[in-house]
Amino acid sequence: MEYPCHPLTTLTIEETNIARDVVLSCHPDTAIGFRMISLQEPAKSELIPFLELEHDGNLSINTPRPRRLAKINYDVIDKSKASKYMEAIVDVETKERVSCELISVDVHACLTV
């Protein structure tokens, strides 16, 4: 019997691909430049009950776990070749975008070559 991923385990390749595919589906007819896809750590309030059960040795296959979320930093390049820096959160289990934010044009994204 295989247990689900620990809430603080790095995203798997499959989870990373799911996050990528969700973002791509949200931006048809544009070019996407992915900067980073990483684990969005659970909120402390969601993580502490799990960690307490783990510490006490009471984890089971049915133990509720925080959602596995991916944080994606990326650029959207439209037909005018204008680039918009975005940050999104994707639930890799439900394959849904939880949030998406256009980072202000007053803020420069980190440099990429």
Rounded Cα–Cα distance for residues 103 and 13 (Å): 26
What is the per-residue pLDDT across 76-108, written as a single tens digit (0 to 9) for each?
A: 987 877 788 999 999 999 999 999 999 876 666
State the average pLDDT over residues 11-33. 95
Structural tokens at position 47: 């993580």
pLDDT value at residue 103: 85
Q: Is the pLDDT of residue 22 over 80?
A: yes
Q: Is the pLDDT of residue 3 over 80?
A: no
pLDDT value at residue 78: 79
CATH architecture of the domain 13-102 equals Roll (3.10)
pTM of the prediction? Answer: 0.86
pLDDT value at residue 72: 98
Mean of per-residue pLDDT scores for the chain? 89
Structural tokens at position 100: 């998406």
Of 9, 13, 3, 16, residue with least CA distance to 70: 16
Higher pLDDT, residue 71 or 59? 71
pLDDT value at residue 81: 77
